[in-house]
């Protein structure tokens, strides 16, 4: 067998990186869109200070671990996932009903076992976290509690910050 000279040897094949670069750009775009959509659940609010505030729950994989974020703005408007809701009779033509929204959301969750003392009461397993701006009046927060209570949602929490505003 004759050996090929150095000049006649075939060049090493080089991999085409174009498809890999396309995939990387697609992943970057996908994660940018997903991160923007996940930020729609919370509004920019100045939360009240609570020195004993618990850390927020870590997001879980199952539907039962999901927490509905309800944002109460300083003007009393309630926003959920970027949409405005209100049960104020003056705003019923402008914004959809908060109670009806929570009722529809709670319908997708399982119910707890009824209380033996009150068999008609079967609470929802849905969890609601109320994020209210520290400048909002409590009556605006109360309308969220009332809507939850009327729909059988009793697993509610209030968001607060541990950062002391006096130290800043």
Dist CA 78 CA 132 (whole Å):
9
Residue 129 gets which letter from DSSP?
E
pLDDT, position 134: 85
**H/E/C letters for each residue in 44-102?**
CCCECECCCCCCCCCCCCCHHHCEEEEEECCCCCEEECCEEECCCHHHCCCCCCHHHHH
Residue 127 gets which letter from DSSP?
E
Q: Work out the pLDDT band at 12, boundaries 50, 70, 90.
A: confident
User: Tens digit of pLDDT for each residue in 22-60?
Assistant: 999 999 998 888 776 655 566 677 777 777 777 765 555
- Please state the φ and ψ torsions of residue 147, each to the nearest 5 degrees: -65, -40
User: Tens digit of pLDDT for each residue in 112-160?
Assistant: 887 777 777 778 888 888 888 888 888 889 999 999 888 888 888 888 8
pTM of the model: 0.65
Starting from the edge strand earliest in sequence, which strands make up the sheet with 124-132, in order?
83-85, 78-80, 67-72, 124-132, 153-158
């Amino acid at each position: 067998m004759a050996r090929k000279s150095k000049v006649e040897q075939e060049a090493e094949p080089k991999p085409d990186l174009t498809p890999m670069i396309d995939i990387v750009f697609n992943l970057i775009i996908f994660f940018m869109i997903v991160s923007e959509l996940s930020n729609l659940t919370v509004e920019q609010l100045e939360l009240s200070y609570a020195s004993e505030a618990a850390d927020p729950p870590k997001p879980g994989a199952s539907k039962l671990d999901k927490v509905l974020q309800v944002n109460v703005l300083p003007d009393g408007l309630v926003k959920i996932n970027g949409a405005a809701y209100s049960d104020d009779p003056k705003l019923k033509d402008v914004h959809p009903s908060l109670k009806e929204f929570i009722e529809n959301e709670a319908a997708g969750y399982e119910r707890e076992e009824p209380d033996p003392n009150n068999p008609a009461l079967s609470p929802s397993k849905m969890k609601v976290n109320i994020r209210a701006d520290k400048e909002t009046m409590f009556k605006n927060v109360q309308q969220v509690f009332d809507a939850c209570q009327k729909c059988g949602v009793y697993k509610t929490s209030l968001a607060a910050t541990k950062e002391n505003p006096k130290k800043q």
